[in-house]
């Protein structure tokens, strides 16, 4: 973990409610699946946001405007600075011996999979991606994943774009491992729908984001875990589902 | 050179800054960030006789200038604290640590304190009779003078280490409880624990916290905490450790002027992991600014 001041170099809407913010500055290396915790003027708690991409002191976050914090973020401009704790959480395990990983993202669970896909492809894996959204106007990052060289399927619950249905209606049956991030109902459905091993990133309301307050604890088969510290990524076989 | 030394129940502190229990774990998350030996001491995560997972999540809710937590005393239990946490802590913290203890019966408190009494690293026992987030224990001992005194006596009987009783603000007359603890042999009083609070998610009309209510902390509660420290320190002759919303060196000074011998810092650690180091670093220059040469001299100054 590192506390740092980062400068906003981009803050643009990708959909009516989802924004991409690019930040630049002195950060530690970030692994796919880790998150940052952002301090915002006038709000007491920081806002934990997953990292969508990282490269040499430049990081990208994609966030959905859902409350005061993200609303404030969406109104910030280029050149403004943010106080950020970086390098939080365990991140995805890139060392599992899979050849054909399947990446499954739902809504704002999609962003952390981008950096993951980039790293997996760099390691020579054949990556397929399923991105689930409610409706066509909410779809983002399909092209970005394609440009990385991943095979991409988009699902929408109302059928207005891509495959009609949920991510579980479009899983690549040749995959030998999955990485997921999304709302808990999606993760549960995925857990039921697939036999292959995998890991998923979880969300919880956090106090500190770095393991001090025990605000985000959960029980697993391998003991109590803090989502912010031993998570947010948990292995399928650890889950009490 | 200004002097930040204070003495808490006979143990010297380099400065009065103490991270509060529940906001600093067992220290090593913070030791990765800075040398925690710069602190006066710290109060470790509330420890109980048996391991506890605590309450269901969500356990955290944001408030204006503060937060609510309903963690519910998650901890590995005193035996593991002794066998695992304290040896790890010993590698990064060389000063006496404050052991924070909670319980669900008088016997629980006595047992846990007896175990911790044997630990050389432990300087003080901070006996929490004020956790708002557990049923059938915690705060129920701290809202009644007789029960608080009973816990105090039971703990004093099993330890020679200084016993500091941590009080709840969720009472009508905190002074009577503090006095009862003093009469029962407490060596110090620390206050305030969190204020019982609540938030509702207006999208669905349901409480944000799974446990419905939780403990409110952060800068918003500072004036309430300061008032109670003032009242209690004016009524007892044992040292008072002040806490509640402290987040700056100025807050530390104000708390000491209200009567605190040392000052705990809680929620600030969660939003700024360097909060306590910053306060320790800034204390000398803030003292100089206000013409304070010796910090111990300002304790209770507001009492005239």
Mean predicted confidence (pLDDT) in A39-44: 97
Please name the member of A1, A85, A207 whose beta carbon is closest to the beta carbon of B69. Answer: A207
Residue A210 to residue A207: CA distance in whole angstroms:
9
Q: What is the structure's pLDDT at B130? A: 86
CATH topology of domain A92-195: Rossmann fold (3.40.50)
Catalytic annotation present for B113: no
Angstrom CA distances, A137 to A19, A113, A156, A161, A165, stand at: 13, 20, 10, 9, 15
**Cross-chain Cβ contact B269/A204 below 8 Å:** no
* B231 is a domain residue: yes
* B260 is a domain residue: yes
Instruction: Single out the residue of A3, A199, A208 nearest to residue A112, CA to CA.
Output: A199
Q: What is the pLDDT of residues B126-157, one digit of tens each?
A: 999 988 777 666 677 889 999 999 999 999 99
Per-residue pLDDT of chain B (304 residues; tens, 9 = 90+): 899 999 999 999 999 999 999 999 999 999 999 999 999 999 999 999 999 999 999 999 999 999 999 999 999 999 999 999 999 999 999 999 999 999 999 999 999 999 999 999 999 999 999 887 776 666 778 899 999 999 999 999 999 999 999 999 999 999 999 999 999 999 999 999 999 999 999 999 999 999 999 999 999 999 999 999 999 999 999 999 999 999 999 999 999 999 999 999 999 999 999 999 999 999 999 999 999 999 999 999 999 8
Q: Do the beta carbons of residue B126 and residue B190 sit within 8 Å?
A: yes
Q: Do the beta carbons of residue A27 and residue A87 sit within 8 Å?
A: yes
Please name the member of A1, A43, A215 whose beta carbon is closest to the beta carbon of B71. Answer: A215
Residues in B closer than 8 angstroms to A207, CB to CB, are 59-60, 67, 69, 270
Q: What is the structure's pLDDT at B136? A: 64
Between strands A58-64 and B6-8, the pairing is: unpaired
* pLDDT band at A28; cut points 50, 70, 90: confident
Q: CATH code at B284?
A: 3.20.20.70
pTM: 0.95
Question: Active site residue: B9, B131, B181, B276, which one?
Answer: B131
User: Does domain A2-88 match CATH 2.40.30.10?
Assistant: yes
Q: What is the pLDDT of residues A163-173, one digit of tens each?
A: 999 999 999 99
Angle separating helix axes B249-258 and B222-235, nearest 10 degrees: 30
Peptide bond into B49 cis (omega under 30): no
Structural domain tally of chain B?
Answer: 1
Residue range of the domain that includes B256: 6-303
- In chain A, residues under CATH classification 3.40.50.80 are 92-195
Q: Which residue has the tokens 């005194």?
A: B149
Angle separating helix axes B275-289 and B249-258, nearest 10 degrees: 70
Residues in B closer than 8 angstroms to A70, CB to CB, are none
**Cross-chain Cβ contact A1/B54 below 8 Å:** no
Residues in A closer than 8 angstroms to B274, CB to CB, are 3
What does the DSSP assignment read for chain B?
--B--EEETTEEESSSEEEPTTSSTTSHHHHTTS-GGGSS--BPPPB-SS-B--SPSP-EEEETTEEEE-----B--HHHIIIIIHHHHHHH--SPEEEEE--SSHHHHHHHHHHHHT-TTEEEEEEE---TTSSSSGGGGTSSHHHHHHHHHHHHTT-SS-EEEEPPS-SS-HHHHHHHHHHTT-SEEEE--PEEE--EETTTTEESSTTS-EEEESGGGHHHHHHHHHHHHHH-SS-EEEESS--SHHHHHHHHHHT-SEEEE-THHHH-TTHHHHHHHHHHHHHHHTT-SBGGGGTTGGG-
Q: What is the structure's pLDDT at B138? A: 63
Taking a contact as any Cβ pair under 8 Å apart, which residues of chain B between 29 and 58 contact chain A?
29-30, 32-33, 45, 53-54, 57-58
Residues in B closer than 8 angstroms to A230, CB to CB, are none
Q: What is the structure's pLDDT at B233? A: 98
Q: What is the structure's pLDDT at B245? A: 98
Report CA Rg, chain B. Answer: 18
Angstrom CA distances, A119 to A33, A115, A171, A197, B117, stand at: 11, 6, 21, 19, 51
Average pLDDT, chain B: 96
Average pLDDT, chain A: 96
**Cross-chain Cβ contact A204/B274 below 8 Å:** no
Q: Do the beta carbons of residue A117 and residue A125 sit within 8 Å?
A: no
Q: What is the pLDDT of residues A99-142, one digit of tens each?
A: 999 999 999 999 999 999 999 999 999 999 999 999 999 999 99
- Chain B contact present for A72, CB below 8 A: no
Interface test with B, best of A36, A45, A46 (most B CBs within 10 A): A45
What does the DSSP assignment read for chain A?
-EEEEEEEEEEEESSSSEEEEEEES------TT-EEEEE-TT-SS-EEEEEEEEETTEEEEEEE--SHHHHHHHT--TT-EEEEEEEES----TTS--SSEEEEEEGGGSHHHHHHHHHHHHTT---EEEEEESSGGG--SHHHHHHHT-EEEEEETTSSSSEES-GGGS--TT-SEEEEES-HHHHHHHHHH--S-EEEE-----SSSSSSS-TTEEEETTEEEETTTT-SEEEGGG---
* B1 is a domain residue: no
Sign for the pseudo-dihedral over CA of A181, A184, A188, A193: negative
- Chain A contact present for B19, CB below 8 A: no
């Amino acid at each position: 973990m590192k506390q740092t001041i980062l400068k906003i170099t981009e803050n643009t809407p990708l959909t009516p409610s989802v924004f991409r913010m690019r930040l630049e500055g002195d950060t530690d290396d970030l692994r796919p699946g880790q998150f940052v915790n952002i301090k915002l003027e006038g709000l007491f708690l920081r806002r934990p946001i997953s990292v969508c991409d990282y490269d040499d002191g430049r990081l990208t976050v994609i966030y959905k405007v859902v409350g005061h914090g993200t609303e404030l973020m969406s109104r910030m401009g280029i050149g403004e600075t943010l106080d950020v704790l970086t390098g939080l959480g365990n991140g995805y395990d890139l060392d599992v011996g899979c050849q054909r990983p399947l990446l499954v993202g739902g809504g704002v669970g999609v962003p952390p999979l981008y950096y993951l896909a980039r790293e997996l492809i760099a390691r020579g894996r054949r990556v397929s991606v399923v991105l689930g959204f409610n409706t066509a106007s909410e779809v983002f990052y399909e092209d970005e994943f394609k440009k990385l060289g991943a095979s991409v399927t988009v699902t929408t619950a109302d059928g207005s774009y891509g495959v009609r249905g949920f991510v579980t209606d479009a899983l690549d049956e040749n995959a030998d491992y999955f990485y997921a991030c999304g709302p808990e109902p999606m993760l549960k459905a995925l857990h039921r729908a697939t036999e292959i091993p995998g890991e998923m990133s979880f969300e919880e309301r956090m106090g500190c984001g770095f393991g001090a307050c025990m605000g985000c604890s959960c029980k697993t088969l391998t003991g109590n875990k803090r989502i912010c510290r031993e998570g947010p990524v948990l292995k399928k076989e650890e889950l009490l589902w | 050179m200004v002097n930040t030394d204070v003495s808490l129940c006979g143990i010297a502190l380099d400065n009065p800054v103490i991270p509060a229990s529940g906001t600093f774990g067992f220290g090593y998350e913070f030791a990765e960030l800075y040398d925690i030996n710069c602190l006066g001491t710290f109060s470790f995560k509330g420890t109980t006789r048996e391991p506890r997972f605590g309450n269901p999540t969500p356990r955290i809710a944001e408030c204006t200038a503060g937060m609510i937590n309903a963690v519910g005393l998650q901890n590995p239990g005193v035996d593991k604290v002794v066998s695992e946490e304290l040896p790890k802590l010993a590698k990064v913290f060389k000063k006496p640590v404050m052991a924070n203890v909670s319980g669900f019966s008088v016997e629980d408190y006595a047992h846990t304190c007896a175990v911790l009494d044997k630990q050389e690293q432990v300087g003080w026992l901070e006996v929490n009779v004020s956790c708002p987030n557990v049923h059938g224990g915690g705060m129920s001992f701290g809202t009644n003078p007789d029960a608080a005194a009973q816990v105090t006596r039971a703990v004093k009987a099993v330890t020679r280490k200084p016993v500091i009783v941590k009080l709840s603000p969720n009472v009508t007359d905190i002074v009577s409880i503090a006095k009862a603890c003093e009469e029962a042999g407490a060596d110090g009083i620390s206050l305030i624990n969190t204020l019982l609070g609540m938030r509702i998610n207006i999208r669905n009309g349901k409480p944000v916290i799974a446990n419905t209510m939780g403990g409110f902390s952060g800068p918003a509660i500072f004036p309430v905490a300061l008032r109670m420290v003032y009242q209690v320190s004016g009524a007892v002759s044992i040292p008072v450790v002040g806490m509640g919303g402290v987040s700056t060196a100025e807050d530390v000074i104000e708390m000491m002027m209200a009567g605190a011998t040392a000052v705990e810092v809680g929620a600030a650690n969660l939003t700024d992991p360097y909060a306590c180091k910053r306060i320790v670093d800034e204390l000398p220059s803030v003292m100089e600014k206000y013409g304070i040469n010796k910090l111990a001299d300002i304790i209770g100054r507001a009492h005239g």
